[in-house]
């Protein structure tokens, strides 16, 4: 049986630009500028705020929260936990990016506490999804991943289990992106190898996912649309770029010029029901 999104990615992008969601980011030092520029290019409004003393005020005015654990310290962890709790209590969507969660016990403990506050979306690579679920993964750092086909299959099943366990959407990004809510599974093709040669591309993607889920009612469809737009922009930018230095401005320009008339991105999606 053919399954399709209730609202195509182009329409969801137009909705985002009409609403200009304010995205509160608690993210790592490296990702702040790339994430802010990417959000502006896509049509959202970025806000970077980490001070514990203002977290509740910021969560109150923001439309959505994105937490990235790439930079951790005790004050930042406290701010993350307070922000996640405040967003959950206020009924506001939020995204968890478990950067390098398998690299240290501190990252694992931090994510366990954050998961108690019910993120709307978890976005990570295969290694991070496996580690978040407590499964073994050969992680060499925050940009590494499990490339073996069997590991990707295992990580996909883990993503489905995580989505079912936490009642959220899980987005696992890589050569082929996977998005699931535990009931449906969406595979998305696209992107370009140069995306892996530029820092914070994944971090910025999590912020874009946050913008999409703030502007659209269905987290699964919104997350898939965010990933499809991002992958398409990366593919187009990679075609014109000669290296990482020229890729970044080309990528931002492509995001900026995307609109509802973009070639139908749903044709790059394979949607199935989870058995």
Cα-based torsion angle of the residue sequence 226, 232, 234, 236 in order, rounded to the nearest 10 degrees: -150
The burial class, CB within 10 Å (0-12 / 13-18 / 19+), for 136 is: exposed
- Where do the structural domains in the chain lie, given as residue ranges? 9-273
Any idea which residue has 């058995």 for tokens? Answer: 275
Q: How far is CA 131 from the centre of its chain?
A: 17
Run of H or E residues at 240: helix 219-240
Residue 126 annotated as binding site = no
Q: Averaged over 46-68, what is the pLDDT? A: 98
Give the residue among 72, 1, 37 at the shortest CA–CA distance from 249.
37
Whole-angstrom Cα distance, residue 102 to residue 267? 34
Residue 200 CB neighbour total at 10 angstroms:
24
Residue 48 annotated as binding site = yes
Highest mean pLDDT among 31-35, 147-151, 269-273: 31-35
Identify the pLDDT of residue 1: 38
**Mean per-residue pLDDT over the chain, rounded:** 93
pLDDT digits (tens, 9 = 90+) for 140-189: 544 444 456 777 889 999 999 999 999 999 999 999 999 999 999 999 99
Identify the pLDDT of residue 148: 60
Q: What is the pTM of this model?
A: 0.94
Confidence of residue 95 (pLDDT cuts 50, 70, 90): very high
Whole-angstrom Cα distance, residue 262 to residue 239? 16
Q: Averaged over 200-224, what is the pLDDT? A: 97
Residue 173 annotated as binding site = yes
Percent of residues, the chain, with pLDDT higher than 90:
86
Span 9-273 CATH architecture: 3-Layer(aba) Sandwich (3.40)
Q: Averaged over 195-221, what is the pLDDT? A: 97
pLDDT digits (tens, 9 = 90+) for 216-263: 999 999 999 999 999 999 999 999 999 999 999 999 999 999 987 777
Residue 200 annotated as binding site = yes
Whole-angstrom Cα distance, residue 180 to residue 166? 12
Q: Averaged over 44-48, what is the pLDDT? A: 99
């Amino acid at each position: 049986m053919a399954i399709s999104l209730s609202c195509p990615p182009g329409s969801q992008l137009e909705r985002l630009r009409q609403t200009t969601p304010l995205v509160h980011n608690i993210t790592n030092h490296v990702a702040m500028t790339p994430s802010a520029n990417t959000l502006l290019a896509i049509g959202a409004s970025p806000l970077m705020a980490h001070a514990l003393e203002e977290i509740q005020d910021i969560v109150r005015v923001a439309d959505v929260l994105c937490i990235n654990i790439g930079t951790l310290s005790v004050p930042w962890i406290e701010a993350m936990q307070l922000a996640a709790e405040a967003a959950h209590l206020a009924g506001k969507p939020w995204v968890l990016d478990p950067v390098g969660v398998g690299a240290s016990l501190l990252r694992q403990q931090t994510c366990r506490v954050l998961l108690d506050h019910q993120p709307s979306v978890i976005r990570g690579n295969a290694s991070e999804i496996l580690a978040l679920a407590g499964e073994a993964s050969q992680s060499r750092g925050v940009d590494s991943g499990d490339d073996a086909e069997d590991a990707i299959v295992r990580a996909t099943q883990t993503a489905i289990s995580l989505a079912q366990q936490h009642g959220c959407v899980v987005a696992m990004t890589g050569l082929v992106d996977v998005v699931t809510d535990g009931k449906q599974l969406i595979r998305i093709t696209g992107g370009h190898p140069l995306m892996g040669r530029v820092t914070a591309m994944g971090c910025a993607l999590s912020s874009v996912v946050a913008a999409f889920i703030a502007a659209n009612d269905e987290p699964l469809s919104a997350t898939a649309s965010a990933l499809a737009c991002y992958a398409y922009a990366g593919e187009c930018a990679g075609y014109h770029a000669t290296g990482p230095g020229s890729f970044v401005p080309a990528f931002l320009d492509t995001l900026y010029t995307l609109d509802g008339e973009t070639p139908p991105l749903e044709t790059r999606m394979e949607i199935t029901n989870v058995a």
